[in-house]
């Protein structure tokens, strides 16, 4: 029987960590070692393992992920059945969304990791890797964009969030729930996500996008400080449906005349409102000042998309707004 070819690209993270003489655990295991530690993996697929990076998830950069996306495109062009990326869980919700926006492939791309390192009882890395390969070889996973698989749950990259610092069940999708699961070696999907065209590969440039969360009594002092350092774009995770104090609205409106400013919600679920509240600093007021709605993307994912746009030289307000329309965002309706 011809087994499908699945490539495991290791970026490091907890799944690859072992104890250090200096204390704590650090990334040390190669992708080949991770694959070798999973019983029965070879029966599912012909697994090719490659250590792409060896670092904690918190150390990843956009350049790393742009290069990773290029490597995945090459694997797809060679006829690979699927790709599994293993990395640190700190930034999975962001890196998976980067891949989702950079890749337009039918081939399944799965991101996974571990909450318990291999030296701990009940380490979850092998089970997560096994489930990820099962998803990567599933015909139903084709054309679903980037997926995240941990704890036998399948999440869409656009929805998934890390909701706990240490629980093996740390990942969830507050907006939609998991779109599938793995049980008894079978992959089940209970939903499909609409395909959103990916950004075209292009030469990139550096882009700095600030992300600020608005809190009670916030008068905008830290936003002023951030803007004074010359950011290329700004994402505001505002209260409720997209609300700030009036003095902060003035600051954001002025900034929107110079750089793209995105309005998200700090709640992590639901979408930025458009035409409900009309007080100074409300969503209606902010949109009239030229700020762009992030729709139902949370602040982290709105920052990802805006950064990828700016890295490609897309900075005009109308072009940025157009890119956020598939996510329920954009400029205020006429």
Ranges for all domains in the chain classified under CATH 3.40.50.1170 = 5-189
Mean confidence (pLDDT) of the chain: 95
pLDDT at 3: 87
For the whole prediction, is pTM greater than 0.85?
yes
Model pLDDT for residues 15-50, shown as the tens digit of each residue: 999 999 889 999 999 999 999 999 889 889 999 999
Domain made up of 209-327: CATH architecture: 3-Layer(aba) Sandwich (3.40)
- Give the pLDDT confidence score for residue 58 in this predicted structure: 96
**What CATH number labels 5-189?**
3.40.50.1170
Q: Which residues are catalytic?
A: 14
Q: Is the dihedral of CA 26, 28, 32, 38 positive or negative?
A: negative
Q: Each residue of 48-68: pLDDT tens digit?
A: 999 999 999 999 999 999 999
Instruction: Give the pLDDT band of residue 334 (cuts 50, 70, 90).
Output: low
Q: What percent of the chain has pLDDT over 90?
A: 91
Query: What is the location of CATH 3.40.50.40 in the chain?
Result: 209-327
Rounded to whole angstroms, how far apart are CA atoms 237 and 230?
19
């Amino acid at each position: 029987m011809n087994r499908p070819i699945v490539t495991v690209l290791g970026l490091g993270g907890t799944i690859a960590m072992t104890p250090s003489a200096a204390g704590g655990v650090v990334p040390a295991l190669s992708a080949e070692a991770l694959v070798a530690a999973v019983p029965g993996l070879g029966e599912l697929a012909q697994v090719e393992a490659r250590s792409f990076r060896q670092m904690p998830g918190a150390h990843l950069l956009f350049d790393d992920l742009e290069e990773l996306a290029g490597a995945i495109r090459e694997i797809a062009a060679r006829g690979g059945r699927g790709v599994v990326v293993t990395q640190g869980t700190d930034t999975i919700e962001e890196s998976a969304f980067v891949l989702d926006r950079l890749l337009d492939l039918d081939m399944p791309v799965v991101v996974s990791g571990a909450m318990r390192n291999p030296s701990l009882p009940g380490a979850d890395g092998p089970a997560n890797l096994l489930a990820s390969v099962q998803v990567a070889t599933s015909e139903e996973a084709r054309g679903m964009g980037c997926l995240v698989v941990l704890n036998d749950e399948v999440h869409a990259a656009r929805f998934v969030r890390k909701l706990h610092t240490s629980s093996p069940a740390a990942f969830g999708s507050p907006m939609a729930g998991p779109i599938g699961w793995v049980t008894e070696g079978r992959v089940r999907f209970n939903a499909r996500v609409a395909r959103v065209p990916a950004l075209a590969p292009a030469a990139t440039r550096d882009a700095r996008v600030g992300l600020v969360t608005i809190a009670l009594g916030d008068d905008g002092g830290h936003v002023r400080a951030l803007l004074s350092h010359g950011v290329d774009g700004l994402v505001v995770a505002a209260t409720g449906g997209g609300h700030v104090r009036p003095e902060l609205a003035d600051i954001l409106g002025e900034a929107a005349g110079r750089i793209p400013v995105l309005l998200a919600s700090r709640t992590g679920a639901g979408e930025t409102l458009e035409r409900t509240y009309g007080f100074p600093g409300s969503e209606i007021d902010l949109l009239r000042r030229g700020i762009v709605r992030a729709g139902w993307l949370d602040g982290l994912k709105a920052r990802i998309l805006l950064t990828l746009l700016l890295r490609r030289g897309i900075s005009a307000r109308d072009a940025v707004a157009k890119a956020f329309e598939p996510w329920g965002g954009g400029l205020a309706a006429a």
